Amino acid sequence: MKNAGNFIKTGLSLTLFCSVLFIACDRRISTPSSDSPNLNDNYDYLKVQESGKTRNITEFIKDGSRDGLSNKSVQLGRILFYDKKLSINNTISCASCHKQSLAFADNVNFSTGFGNLLTTRNSMSILNPVNNNNMFWDSRASSPLELSLMPVFNHIEMGMENDQMLVTKLSKTSYYPDLFEDAFGDRTITREKISKAVTQFLNCLFSKESKFDQGLQNNFANFTPLELYGKQLFFSDQLKCSECHSGTNFSAPDAPGSPYGGSTFGNDASNPRGTANIGLDVSYKDNGRGNGKFKIPSLRNIELTGPYMHDGRFTTLEQVINHYSEGIQNHPSLDEKFRDGMKAKKLNLSENDKVALIAFLKTLTDKNLITNPKFSDPFKN
């Protein structure tokens, strides 16, 4: 959790400032509400589907959250994910901004945190974190374990001031001591265990049952001619979409050897870490990882995760495609794929090409992820 340490340090002054403001407005830190989760759910969280085969999620998990993973610990993680008690005033849970029906994204440019403050970037979908080592719009985290408690202590998102405050609050509930005992063998609640359980749930948000995934198994016999044409465009040398949106998640992995990957992890802003500048602006208000470079996001479930881009500036996929077709700006750090000498290279797509690309993007929607009760809100009984 070294980055969380840095994060807390850098955010400390603002956090204190906002907390003081917040407490000044509302002197009570609300007591936990009495609503409890449904504890009778008995799902097999560890079984996932990939290419028509049932696999065990442990085959994919690379970080420390693999140890001690069980259906009980994932169940605990799911309850924590949906529990508003994780926020300082019991108003916000992870799911307030990461909604199942929207593939764990939000449908507003900026989401509302605990004190009615807005996030500074668009809430992104959470999916297949096990295949993702490049997280947040500026790629500042490299694994779900590293990331999982950051929002809880973030003054805008959930506002908890320190570990002890959260631990004390959860220990006083009627259900958490038992749940921690079931998951980890004893009733003591710690920051590490909270983080681990949340991560274990995140890791089980595995989405590989889209029309595209089915297509991989039947040579795309399930695709319409329009979708096939869109797929051909997406993977073409002319458009180069797949040179950035690549791999199983259609995103850029931070991997040594990948053109967008860095070889080291950490917060070094000079390390591109799976980010690129796609010429959204000539001058950026938010420079992302530096020079207007933002994470190359996953395109899985893209139909459900609008508005799009780090600031949610585009409401529809049509607008996104129009950007690539006609809107690319000549920023000094514009990616070379969108350059023609010193000029910005706009893709100038025909109407039919645009429609086909969008039809292809919609084959990446996984209905199972958004309807499966094992990922649903356990507080809604």
The footprint of ligand HEC (CB under 6 A) covers: 86, 92, 94, 96-98, 111, 113, 119, 121, 123-124, 126, 129, 132, 135-137, 144, 147-148, 151-152, 157-158, 198, 202, 239-241, 243-245, 276, 278, 280, 294, 296-297, 299, 302, 305, 308-310, 320, 324, 335, 337, 347, 357
Q: Least distance in Å: CB of 129 to ligand HEC?
A: 6
Q: Are 356 and 316 in contact (CB under 8 A)?
A: no
User: Is 217 or 224 the residue whose CB approaches ligand HEC more closely?
Assistant: 224
Residue 176: Cβ within 10 Å count: 24
Q: Least distance in Å: CB of 167 to ligand HEC?
A: 15
User: Is 174 or 336 the residue whose CB approaches ligand HEC more closely?
Assistant: 336
Q: Least distance in Å: CB of 157 to ligand HEC?
A: 4
Burial degree of 261 (CB within 10 A; 0-12, 13-18, 19+): middle
Instruction: Give the integer Cα–Cα distance in Å for 102 and 126.
Output: 10
Q: Least distance in Å: CB of 334 to ligand HEC?
A: 9
Q: Least distance in Å: CB of 347 to ligand HEC?
A: 6
User: Is 183 or 244 the residue whose CB approaches ligand HEC more closely?
Assistant: 244
Q: Least distance in Å: CB of 159 to ligand HEC?
A: 10
User: Is 4 or 198 the residue whose CB approaches ligand HEC more closely?
Assistant: 198
Phi, psi for 95 (deg, rounded to 5): -70, -10
User: Is 189 or 202 the residue whose CB approaches ligand HEC more closely?
Assistant: 202
User: Is 239 or 369 the residue whose CB approaches ligand HEC more closely?
Assistant: 239
User: Is 71 or 275 the residue whose CB approaches ligand HEC more closely?
Assistant: 275
User: Is 72 or 121 the residue whose CB approaches ligand HEC more closely?
Assistant: 121
Q: Least distance in Å: CB of 289 to ligand HEC?
A: 10
User: Is 158 or 370 the residue whose CB approaches ligand HEC more closely?
Assistant: 158
Dig out the tokens for 250 from the structure.
């259609």
Cβ neighbours for 170, distance < 8 A, ≥ 6 positions apart: 85, 86, 176, 189, 194
Q: Least distance in Å: CB of 52 to ligand HEC?
A: 25
Instruction: Give the integer Cα–Cα distance in Å for 129 and 314.
Output: 25
Cβ neighbours for 307, distance < 8 A, ≥ 6 positions apart: 107, 108, 109, 122, 313, 314, 315
Amino acid symbol at 189: I
Q: Least distance in Å: CB of 166 to ligand HEC?
A: 10
Instruction: Give the integer Cα–Cα distance in Å for 181 and 195.
Output: 15
Instruction: Give the integer Cα–Cα distance in Å for 288 and 139.
Output: 9
Sign of torsion over alpha carbons 218, 296, 199, 67: positive
Cβ neighbours for 324, distance < 8 A, ≥ 6 positions apart: 239, 278, 346, 347, 349
Burial degree of 10 (CB within 10 A; 0-12, 13-18, 19+): exposed
Sign of torsion over alpha carbons 64, 69, 73, 74: positive
User: Is 196 or 245 the residue whose CB approaches ligand HEC more closely?
Assistant: 245
Instruction: Give the integer Cα–Cα distance in Å for 143 and 149.
Output: 12
Q: Least distance in Å: CB of 97 to ligand HEC?
A: 3
